[in-house]
Structure 1
Amino acid sequence: MQLFPNGRGVGVTETLHGLAEWPVVVLFGLVTQLGDGWFLFLLGGTLFVAGEEFPVLGVDRRRALFVFALALTYVAVIGALKGFFGLGRPPGAADPPALAWAPGALSALLERATTADGPGFPSGHALGTTMVWGGLALVVDWGTARQRFGAAAGVIVLVALSRLVLGVHYLVDVVAGAAVGVALLGALYRFADEGTDPGRVLGVAVAVGLVGLLNGLTFDSVAAIGGALGGWAVWRGVADSTPAHPTHRREIFAGFGVLLAAGLLFAALEAFEPALALAFVGTALAVGGAVGAPLLGERLV
């Protein structure tokens, strides 16, 4: 029995994508980056290293790691769900827009930002944006609760809309992604003692990553479990030693250097997709390095 016997298209994606000229496509290609995996990891990792010194959104490092752990869990969850359902994307989702005016390098970046392939249900961007930006609204002290959740909701709606305008998801996909994100965020926030015990969320990411392997050994599934295990194992070793608050800016800059190295390693793995064993070890090192960045930054200076 099919989950959606009559299909997931209700005409919204076709209408929005059909009306979008190239300037609109490029604009929403940029907007959608607010929910892309690389940006969510960068946001969580930077907040974790900077701690309370992060502009406007500064928070103690345990709560910041909770946000980073949400990004890890999102990757594991979306991989498991998409592998289970195996539902495709709208026709033409992988076709790049006509951008003959753009030079080669820029054209390649825009193509990556405005297209998608692989399974489409539920929307990973909608799920990840809901979890990470919603998690930020839960733990930071900026403004009032209404302002924080209003801002988070605005980002979630914009990212979800961008997936429809770009023609890479159906409306059902983004609604389901956001709904799953809300449910997971609420459960994980309670499970992590209101965000103060991020190790529990890292453990959930490991468990979900193991389930994701049941869909098959692919680069994505192996990278998800490798990253989750690396982050969880390193945090178990450094949780009591990691300073909750930065002591000086040199420590933060050194931590950013470690985070940058971890990010470059992860980017290289994604670009070249090496053998599965190397992908597992590499992602474990990359995420483990990110989790250990504040302590390494302190030791380096």
Structure 2
Amino acid sequence: MTVPVAPLATRGIGEIAFAESLPEVVTTVFWWLTHLGNPYLLLACVALAYLLGDRVGISRRGAAFALVLGLCAIGLTVGLKHLFGLPRPPISYRDGLGFPSGHALGSTAFWGGVAVLANRGAWRQRLAVAAAVVVTVSLSRVLIGVHYIADVVAGVAIGTAFLAAVFALGPGFATETRDGPLADPTHRHVTALFGLALVLGLGALLVAPGESELFLGVGTAAGGVVAWHRFGERAATATIELTGRTLAVGGGGLLVALGAMSGVAEFVESGLLIVVVAVVGGVCLLALPLAVARGATVG
């Protein structure tokens, strides 16, 4: 006797019924918590960390590396979603594909990468905090009804495997450390990761040719390869004094670059235009420490 097997598209194990039974206040709380894995929020956070440098507990080169981890996660997520072609749960308020979870994969790559690259606090504590954030984001995706448990488990697993491979093949892990970073990427490592992000984005475009997120990622990675190769080392070591002038220039530059990049990705249909704006935006973000430091010197 053959035991019938449910198709993978209906991969739930009862979590959707549980999510539907939750009080509205619980769903609302997790709807806010899910933004800890929002790619635009993560981009803004790491861009600010890159501008401020060591002041927030991660080197400027480490922040650049974390930024590119996020770009790689975009290519991986969108490419795999279209490769599998599995829908979201029927109660999802969002359209599109659901396997693997982009929030779970992206938050694993980003927050896990930050925990490895940060230079403050004991590394075990950093990894524990990152794991807690990833679990919270993953749980929130299920409880607000936009993913099955299988989606987030796959996202975390893929994100973890990718993160381990990148650090093992790139900067390598420190064998003896307590409070410092577990890995310290060089200028060459950051450049190479920008190249990998570009390859992943272009590969994903083969199976998902109309995705605006991919155009944004490809453009940012392309601009990043050139910009970081040309002046990344100088940007990484630029000294910025925190004054009203530098905060205004730096903050204004961040808002303009991030606003333009996210705006075209959300509202523009032309892939070429999104790529062009992303290239310029990526170059501007990486050059911002140099521009702010030079402006402070001139002023």
The bucket for the TM-score relative to the shorter chain is 0.7 to 0.9
Could you say which residue in structure 2 is the equivalent of 1:84? 83
Return the letter of the residue paired with 2:259: L
How has the CA–CA distance of structure 1 residues 168 and 7 changed in structure 2, closer, same or farther, with 3 Å as cutoff?
same
1:12 equivalent in alignment to 2:15: yes
Instruction: Say which of 203, 212, 236 aligns to 1:211.
Output: 203
Q: What count of residue pairs does the alignment treat as equivalent? A: 275
1:292 equivalent in alignment to 2:270: no
Return the letter of the residue paired with 2:24: W
Deviation by residue 1:55-110 (Cα, 9 ceiling, x = unmatched): xxx2221111111111111112111111211111000212xxxxxxxxxxxxxxxx
State the distance in 2 between where 1:5 and 1:171 align.
12
- Report the TM-score, using the length of structure 2 for normalisation: 0.86
How has the CA–CA distance of structure 1 residues 232 and 4 changed in structure 2, closer, same or farther, with 3 Å as cutoff?
farther
Q: Is the Cα–Cα contact under 8 Å of residues 258 and 297 in structure 1 kept in the other structure? A: no
Between 1 and 2, higher relative CO (CA 8 Å, sep ≥ 6) is seen in: 1
Question: C-alpha root-mean-square deviation of aligned residues, in Å?
Answer: 2.0
- Report the TM-score, using the length of structure 1 for normalisation: 0.85
Could you say which residue in structure 1 is the equivalent of 2:175? none
Task: Give how far 1:255 is off.
Answer: 2.8
Deviation by residue 1:13-62 (Cα, 9 ceiling, x = unmatched): 331x11222211211111000001111111211111111112xxx22211
State the distance in 1 between where 2:273 and 2:131 align.
38
Could you say which residue in structure 1 is the equivalent of 2:66? 67
> Residue 242 of structure 1: SS of its match in structure 2?
helix
Task: Give how far 1:168 is off.
Answer: 0.2
Task: Give how far 1:220 is off.
Answer: 2.9
Which residues of 2 match residues 143-154 of structure 1 at below 5 A?
143-154=121-132
State the distance in 2 between where 1:223 and 1:73 align.
12
Return the letter of the residue paired with 1:297: V
Return the letter of the residue paired with 2:13: V
Deviation by residue 1:169-227 (Cα, 9 ceiling, x = unmatched): 00000000000000111111233313413222111101101101111421233222122
Return the letter of the residue paired with 2:44: L
Could you say which residue in structure 1 is the equivalent of 2:178? none
Which residues of 2 match residues 156-167 of structure 1 at below 5 A?
156-167=134-145
Q: Is the Cα–Cα contact under 8 Å of residues 70 and 131 in structure 1 kept in the other structure? A: yes
State the distance in 2 between where 1:126 and 1:3 align.
24
Which residues of 2 match residues 68-217 of structure 1 at below 5 A?
68-94=67-93, 116-193=94-171, 194-196=183-185, 197-217=189-209
Return the letter of the residue paired with 1:9: G
How has the CA–CA distance of structure 1 residues 93 and 162 changed in structure 2, closer, same or farther, with 3 Å as cutoff?
same
1:254 equivalent in alignment to 2:249: yes
State the distance in 1 between where 2:216 and 2:67 align.
16
1:225 equivalent in alignment to 2:218: yes
How has the CA–CA distance of structure 1 residues 140 and 221 changed in structure 2, closer, same or farther, with 3 Å as cutoff?
closer
Q: Is the Cα–Cα contact under 8 Å of residues 102 and 155 in structure 2 kept in the other structure? A: yes
* Identity across matched positions, percent: 32
How has the CA–CA distance of structure 1 residues 69 and 156 changed in structure 2, closer, same or farther, with 3 Å as cutoff?
same
State the distance in 2 between where 1:148 and 1:48 align.
19
Return the letter of the residue paired with 1:23: V
Deviation by residue 1:135-170 (Cα, 9 ceiling, x = unmatched): 111011222122111111110110000001100000
Unpaired runs of 5+ residues, structure 1, are 95-115
Return the letter of the residue paired with 1:288: V
How has the CA–CA distance of structure 1 residues 175 and 3 changed in structure 2, closer, same or farther, with 3 Å as cutoff?
farther
Q: Is the Cα–Cα contact under 8 Å of residues 70 and 109 in structure 2 kept in the other structure? A: yes
Q: Is the Cα–Cα contact under 8 Å of residues 87 and 121 in structure 1 kept in the other structure? A: yes
Return the letter of the residue paired with 1:178: V
Unpaired runs of 5+ residues, structure 2, are 172-182
> Residue 92 of structure 2: SS of its match in structure 1?
coil
Task: Give how far 1:124 is off.
Answer: 0.4
Q: After alignment, is 211-220 or 163-172 more displaced?
A: 211-220
How has the CA–CA distance of structure 1 residues 216 and 165 changed in structure 2, closer, same or farther, with 3 Å as cutoff?
closer
